Amino acid sequence: MLLNLRYVNLIITVFSLLGFGMVYPEGKQVTSNAKLRYDYAEKAQASPNNNSQLEIEKLNQEAIQQSQQKRFPEALQRLQKALDITREFGERSWEAVTFNNIGRVYQSQGQYSQALKSYQQALVIDKEIGDAVRLGKTYSNIGYLFDIQNKPELAIFFYKHCLINREKARLNPSALSLPQPDAYSITVAQTYRILAERLLKQERVAEAQRTMDLLKVEELEEYLQNVPGNQRTAKGIEIVTREKPIKQKLEQTLAQAILLGKELTTLRKISPQKRSPQQEQRIEQLVLTQQQQLEAFNKFITSPAVTAQVEQISRTARQQNLDLESLNQVRDNLARLPQKSALLYPLILKDSLELVLVTPESPPIHRTVAVTSKNLSQTIVAFRQALKNPSRNLKTPARQLYDWLIKPIENDLKLSGTQTLIYAPDDQLRYIPITALFDGKWLVERFSVNHITSASLSNLNTPNQSSLRVLAGAFTKGNYQIKVGNRQFAFAGLPFAGREVESLAEVVPETKKLLDDAFSPKVTVPQMDDYTIVHLATHAAFVMGKPEDSFILFGNGDRVNLRDVATWSLPNVDLVVLSACETGLGSSLGNGEEILGFGYQMQKTGAKAAIASLWAVDDGGTQALMSAFYATLPSGKLTKAEALRQAQISLITGDWKVSHNKSTAVSDFSHPYYWAPFILIGNGL
């Protein structure tokens, strides 16, 4: 495609985003990796023979900066120069990148037809070279283009193709971690979130549930990187019946364009000086034919017949008669659990909270709650602050959160007979325990709660080992200073941790104790997989930032960070307990990715589940809860999730029994500060 700069529109089109609450990026374009920066001098030194690629990168980067400054003609000139270089040196991947950026410049001016043509040129190249990652991102650009034109059905169709290609690529996770150039309107995670939002707006709840599930996998990828998919994630999302004619036409168009593109590439490898008149004529013919094919597809998808077809999609999909294999797998998982269980997905949007509930017997249930993300965040912060102070009354925010998160689905839970909530929290909801929501009773008095990272990555039905064997480590004395980035943390020994381990050993005779200096990574980690439960009565911190910033402190002062945890091999371990964790350190809450990352890393070790705390608890209260938990667990009559629930209820009611309870500084542990922070992540059986 050649750019005709005479037709560049210098008038900036200010368009209204008629969305469903999603905040789109403003002022700057978003890359797939916000930390990515290009250092051209360093690259030139490392690759002295790659000057053409460096020049293409530089021209693209400068063009985007000029576009952001509304200097559109200069931006297009640079991109045309970059395009010429890509063709001269056969840089096909960068040719696609450049076409994406040309599309973004046209899009910024409101020249949507020109933008679509450029994105399609990128699509053809990405498809030809088989780059599923960039292909998915180009589909996202096209989806976004239709979204800002208020064409939600077409936006959904192309966003889905981003998801489909991304999930295929996830089977080779190293490809997802490669640096990506700035050539895309929104991040992949934003694409998933917007797609879920658009689907929910159309009451296409089964498809939205699938998208929300895979969003959590993508969030893990953004935080940890190299998160592998599996056969369940690789299935992506279903293209529904009324979308299939568009898909068939798209695939046919791309296949034809790729055939022309391959011939075109071969001819362009011949230098212009050496081409014959016939070859020049053939190049012109191929370019024209390819453009005509893409234009024909554009006319097809905007034709009255197809427009009427896609407008029928939402009405058909609302009937929930989709044959979504992934949804059926989730339902089957739920149906085989010993307690009646339901899967709850909240999705936080700018102007609403969306709730999706999946039960074994019915189609996914969707409820919209009219609360802004700002108000929800303020209530979460107020609730968490009250939870962490046992002298404060927290029932006001606890009731409000109950009204937002549980009351809209209260009747659905009752009708389904739900006993266990399998919970996949979103964003800042990861920092609070829903067990402490209140409506006259604490939620824990009604339901067991089992957190998961993603249903697509979780096996909820693997049974436990028949007998309990515990490896218990404790940090009881000493002081350690830990520096993470520019922050300094001071950790003192936990006097009650020793008693916690002693109480555990009394209940489970097959318990091996490691205290203080003997409780080191070198001694502890190699032994873990010989036991069914690994209990670590020590400090752990899940810190916003990088996975390397979050850590578990051992009794000898050594620490293991979140990335190191993933190297552990614990396929025989049913449960890892960290009884003195802290999350949300710092002046403000993030999006909880460090908690999501911890759950996934523990899962990656092969351990079936983990118990961790959302804030550091009075260690006398921790001892009381853990003693109550282990007093119930060995019977084998209760699941881990139900045993934790019963232990928490025993602290509420005062029925907990600890032989040395008179030694505790506090005897009343009924405030949620003591029992609510402990959450179970993973397989709750």
Judge whether residue 26 has pLDDT over 70.
no
Beta-strand relationship, 365-369 and 353-358: antiparallel
Mean pLDDT of 69-88: 95
- CA 268 to CA 263: how far, in whole Å? 9
Tell me what pLDDT residue 100 has: 98
Answer for the pair 443, 504: CB distance below 8 angstroms, yes or no: no
Judge whether residue 181 has pLDDT over 90.
yes
pLDDT band at 268 (very low <50, low <70, confident <90, very high): confident
Q: Can you tell me whether residue 343 is helix, strand or coil? A: strand
pLDDT band at 38 (very low <50, low <70, confident <90, very high): very low
Tell me what pLDDT residue 24 has: 47
For the record, the structure tokens of 410 come out as 């209260």
Judge whether residue 411 has pLDDT over 70.
yes
Tell me what pLDDT residue 4 has: 39
Interior CA angle at 368 toward 365 and 372, to 5°? Answer: 150
pLDDT tens for 342-367 read 999 999 999 999 999 999 988 899 99
Answer for the pair 326, 232: CB distance below 8 angstroms, yes or no: yes
| Residue with more model confidence, 454 or 583 | 454
Residue 370 forms beta bridges with which residues?
none
Answer for the pair 576, 607: CB distance below 8 angstroms, yes or no: yes
Tell me what pLDDT residue 605 has: 95
Tell me what pLDDT residue 317 has: 61
Mean pLDDT of 396-412: 97
pLDDT tens for 305-346 read 888 888 787 666 655 445 566 777 888 888 888 899 999 999
Tell me what pLDDT residue 408 has: 98
- CA 194 to CA 211: how far, in whole Å? 10
pLDDT tens for 161-173 read 999 999 999 999 8
Tell me what pLDDT residue 664 has: 55
Tell me what pLDDT residue 626 has: 92
pLDDT tens for 620-676 read 888 889 989 998 888 888 899 999 999 999 999 988 765 444 455 567 899 999 999
Judge whether residue 614 has pLDDT over 90.
yes
pLDDT tens for 461-495 read 777 777 889 999 999 999 999 887 777 888 999 98
pLDDT tens for 280-302 read 999 999 989 988 998 998 999 88
HSE-CB for 292 with a 13 A CA cutoff: 7
Which is it for the CA torsion 153, 154, 157, 163, positive or negative? Answer: negative
- CA 419 to CA 338: how far, in whole Å? 10
Provide the residue type at 365 as one letter: I
Tell me what pLDDT residue 306 has: 85
Instruction: Please list the alpha-helical segments (H only) found in 90-169.
Output: 92-108, 112-129, 132-147, 152-169
Mean pLDDT of 144-168: 96
**Averaged confidence pLDDT in the chain:** 87
Judge whether residue 1 has pLDDT over 80.
no
Asked which of 85-89, 424-428, 435-439, 608-612 is least confident by mean pLDDT, the reply is 85-89
pLDDT band at 253 (very low <50, low <70, confident <90, very high): very high
Helix or strand run (H / E) with residue 490? strand 487-492
The closest of 330, 412, 403, 334 to 371, measured between CA atoms, is 403
Mean pLDDT of 259-279: 89
- CA 162 to CA 254: how far, in whole Å? 16
Judge whether residue 9 has pLDDT over 90.
no
Biggest CA–CA distance in the chain, Å, is 98
Mean pLDDT of 375-401: 94
Judge whether residue 254 has pLDDT over 70.
yes
Q: Can you tell me whether residue 475 is helix, strand or coil? A: coil
Asked which of 47-51, 310-314, 339-343, 376-380 is least confident by mean pLDDT, the reply is 47-51
Instruction: Please list the alpha-helical segments (H only) found in 367-494.
Output: 373-387, 395-405, 410-416
